[in-house]
Amino acid sequence: MNINEILNIKYPIIQGGMAHISKASLAAAVSNAGGLGQIASGGFKAEEVREEIKKVRKLTDKPFGVNVVLMNEDVEDLVKVIIEEGVEIITCGAGNPAPFFEKWLDAGIKVIPVIANVKMAKKVEKLGAIALVFEGAEAGGHIGSLNTFAELPAIKDSVNIPVIGAGGVYTGRQMLAAEILGASGVQIGTRLLTAEETPVHENFKRALIEAKDSDIMVTGIRTKMPTRVLKNDLAKKLNEIEMSGGDLDEFFKLAKGSGKKAVEGDVNWGSIYTGEGLYFLNKIGSVREILDGLMKEYEEVKKYFKENL
């Protein structure tokens, strides 16, 4: 894996932007541990992102990125803040990045779009992306329809820029699997939700640790915004509304602001975005432990296969 060389980081691991969650504390912890930490813009105003950028610089001298949610109302302001603050790396998704690309490239920013299929991969390569993240539907939060481990090789074959695999990576074994399928690095989100440095309420972390692997579901299919979440009172109610076939006003009313609610501790009526690997979330540990653990297993399994196959 060589995305670490391109991004000037020690480990080929990017922390995905997580709305309401990935602030300076998490981003700096990931960067200090050798990965690429990222500030989220989902759920934050452009000026709040500016403050987090300033904070992260006080906490680390290592590279970090900012995740641009393109459908944010104040995306123009956000793009301005990113350029003014001299951010060097961004990931972007949930919308069309084309109108902003030239500005980003002129400012010398390394742009890594998050894409969900071959068509989008080819498009962002043409626009000048330095690499791309392919996020499969195993991931937590808003998802596409194609899965990481089935689609990754197709994305790899369709472009000439490095591909970063996201969605379903919790172990060194999965990192190696992603590499074999063509990934130059991985992006992780859910694996970091129970980290000490992740600024979510203790209830949020406990809910994930106590849940079983099968306690996940996808809500919002009828809204065309499918979202992988932990099964709780809210998720069951949203599902009931969708399945009843009625109008979706009540769905939107309940879903509005629910991500923030969960982060603040309401694990029954907040939306806990989570990926498929709940089995691997069994304690609260430091970001450094998580990243070192991933790399240790990745190196060991790689060595084993080199020697035994």
Ligand X SMILES: Cc1cc2nc3c(=O)[nH]c(=O)nc-3n(C[C@H](O)[C@H](O)[C@H](O)COP(=O)(O)O)c2cc1C
User: Rule CB under 6 A: which residues touch ligand X?
Assistant: 16-19, 21, 40, 42, 67, 69, 93, 114, 135, 138-141, 166-169, 187-191, 273-275
Write down the least CB distance from residue 226 to ligand X, Å: 13
Which residue lies nearer to ligand X by CB, 71 or 180? Answer: 71
**Minimum distance between the CB of residue 139 and ligand X, rounded to whole angstroms?**
3
Q: Considering the complex, state which of residue 246 and residue 257 has its C-beta at the smaller distance from ligand X.
A: 257
Tokens standing for residue 276: 């498929």
State in angstroms the smallest separation of the CB of 191 from ligand X: 6
The first and second tokens of residue 29, run together, are 């912890």
* Dihedral sign (CA 18, 21, 26, 27): positive
Q: For helices 148-158 and 172-180, what crossing angle results, to 10°?
A: 40
For the CB of residue 166, give the shortest distance to ligand X in the complex, in Å. 4
Six token digits for residue 301: 């399994």
**Least distance (Å) between residue 44 CB and ligand X:** 9
Q: How many residues does the chain have?
A: 309
- Phi, psi for 105 (deg, rounded to 5): -65, -40
CB of 132 to ligand X, least distance (A): 12
For ligand X, the closer CB: 151 or 244: 151
In SS3 terms, the chain reads as CCHHHHHCCCCCEEECCCCCCCCHHHHHHHHHCCCEEEECCCCCCHHHHHHHHHHHHHHCCCCEEEEEECCCCCHHHHHHHHHHCCCCEEEEECCCCHHHHHHHHHCCCEEEEEECCHHHHHHHHHHCCCCEEEECCCCCEECCCCCHHHHHHHHHHHCCCCEEEECCCCCHHHHHHHHHCCCCEEEECHHHCCECCCCCCHHHHHHHHHCCCCCEEEECCCCCCCEEEECCHHHHHHHHHHHHCCCCHHHHHHHCCHHHHHHCCCCCCCCCECCCCHHHCCCCECHHHHHHHHHHHHHHHHHHHHHHC
Nearer to ligand X, 93 or 185 (CB): 93
Comparison of 225 and 243: residue with beta carbon closer to ligand X: 225
Closer residue to ligand X (CB): 140 or 304: 140
Nearer to ligand X by C-beta: 178 or 241? 178
- CB of 224 or CB of 306, closer to ligand X: 224
Task: State the nearest-atom distance from the C-beta of 187 to ligand X, in Å.
Answer: 5
- Tell me the closest approach of the beta carbon of residue 252 to ligand X, in angstroms: 19
